[in-house]
A and B are shown apart, each in its own frame.
Chain A
Amino acid sequence: MVNDDNPTDIINQIEQIKNDVFSGKLSLIDLKLSPIFQELKNTLNMVNLIKYSKPFEGACGLLSQKFEELQKLLNALQDDEIFTKFIEKNPSDELIASLLMKSWTKIFYLESMSLKFLNYSNNRYSQERKSIERIEHLQIQDHKGSFLLNVPEHEFTEKMQIYFDQISYLLPCKFEDLFAHERDQIKIYENFVYILHLIQLGIIKYNKEKNLVYQ
Chain B
Amino acid sequence: MGIFRKFNPLTNLVLFIGLSVVTFFSRSPWPPVAVLVGLTGATAAMRPRTGAMKWPLFSFLIGAPVTLCIFVLSYWAEEGRLAVGLPLGLKEGGLFLSRIGALIMANVLFVRLTDLRSLIASLRALGLPLGVAFLLTAALRFLPLAFEEARRVVEVQRCRGLRRNRILWPPNMLPLIVPLIVINAQRAHEMALTLQMRGIGDRGKFRPILRPMDWMAMATAVAGAILAFGGVI
A, B bound: no
Interface residues of B (CB under 8 A from A): none
Interface residues of A (CB under 8 A from B): none
